[in-house]
Structure 1
Amino acid sequence: MTSVAEPVFRRAIRADLPALIAIFAEDLVGGHGDTTDPAFFPHYERAFDQIEASNCDQLIVGVLEGEVVATAQVTFTTTLPSRGTTNMTIGAVQTRSDLRGKGIGAKLIEHCIALGKARRVGLIQLMSNAKRVDAHRFYERLGFKKSHAGFKMVVEAPPAAT
């Protein structure tokens, strides 16, 4: 692993959107159809505003030398099972492709774990596409265990450009 300068992690701001969109658009495995086409920016802006307004969601960015290079979203969910425990889910974890393997992703996950501990969560879980075998090994190295099978159902097509 080649070392780079220490990234700084913080909540995303609207000005980070172009860099975040570019990071998601370079991901061909997820199949989310993300694109840097400006016609779709209003969709990303609406989603960002909704995440930013939520008390249960945080969009985190990793900044290195002034550039957004990594991201994750954490969601806090309080459930009745486990006596009303609050759990945290980490999702949308991405590091810019040219900086993978340099420790940024591990530091990002460590930051997310610290957020969960600060909120006194009882469980931290994450989701990863079944095709991301390398990512699964990465998460296991960080202490996560495979424990559940996931299922999904697409109920509507992504919104068209406006």
Structure 2
Amino acid sequence: MEDARLVIRKAEEADLPSLIGLFAADTMGGHGDTTDVDAYDDYLRAFRTISTSSDQTLYTTELRGEIVGTFQTIVVTSLHGRGSSAMIIESVQTRADLRGQGIGAAMINFCIDEAKGRGMRMVQLTSNAVRKDAHRFYERLGFKPTHLGFKMTLK
């Protein structure tokens, strides 16, 4: 994969159908994503919340003008670590038929470079426990599985 062909940019509202399609095609995620038109307003509401936040950014990744990936970054500042900030990478998704071609690595490296450029203490992410290939991918990029995460579904 030639990185020069990839374009990573902030997502725009017009990108929503393509982004929703990426998530809806994910059979392992279990997030209930769907391309059903009745769900569109839920996605639009979330997009607008993200896009107006100073601490969150949603990105798209294009290959030859076609959206092939997405991810979101969230900046968290905490008192521990001497008041430092960390970047959380969320909702990483590469189109299934293009995995293994460097798109995911380009997206993650974009995040790492962005965090370094902003003087952040760390970059972190979580990955669904069933995504063993993704875990190996993140470890190859230098991430370490240092913590155990817990979740409680509320709705």
TM-score > 0.5 by shorter chain? yes
Q: State the alpha-carbon separation in 1 of the partners of residues 60 and 86 from structure 2.
A: 21
Which stretches of structure 1, 4 residues or longer, exceed 6 Å deviation after superposition? none
Q: For residues 10-29 of structure 1, what are the structure 2 equivalents within 5 Å?
A: 10-29=9-28
Identical aligned residues as a percent: 52
Matched with 2:86 is 87
Q: Deviations over 1:96-123 (max 9, x none)?
A: 1111111111001111111111221101
| 2-structure distance, mates of 1:43, 1:153 | 21
Q: TM-score, normalised by structure 1?
A: 0.92
Q: CA deviation at 1:59?
A: 0.5
Partner residue in 2 for 1:114: 113
Amino acid at match of 1:34: D
Number of corresponding residues: 154
TM-score by length of 2: 0.97
SS at structure 2 position matched to 1:92 = strand
**Aligned pair 1:41/2:1, yes or no?**
no
Question: Quick one: distance in 1 between partners of 2:111 and 2:92?
Answer: 10
- Aligned pairs for 1:133-152 (under 5 A) are 133-152=132-151
User: What CA distance in whole angstroms lies between the structure 1 residues aligned with 2:12 and 2:123?
Assistant: 24
Tell which has more relative contact order, 1 or 2 (C-alpha 8 A, sep 6+). 1
Q: Secondary structure at the match of 1:112?
A: helix
Say what the alpha-carbon RMSD is for the aligned residues.
Answer: 0.9
The answer for unaligned runs of 5 or more in structure 2 is: none
Q: Which amino acid aligns with 2:21?
A: A
For residue 99 of structure 1, what is the aligned residue in structure 2? 98
Query: For each residue in 1:46-102, what CA deviation from the matched residue of structure 2 results, as whole angstroms up to 9, or x when unmatched?
Result: 000000000000101101111111011110000000110001110100001111111
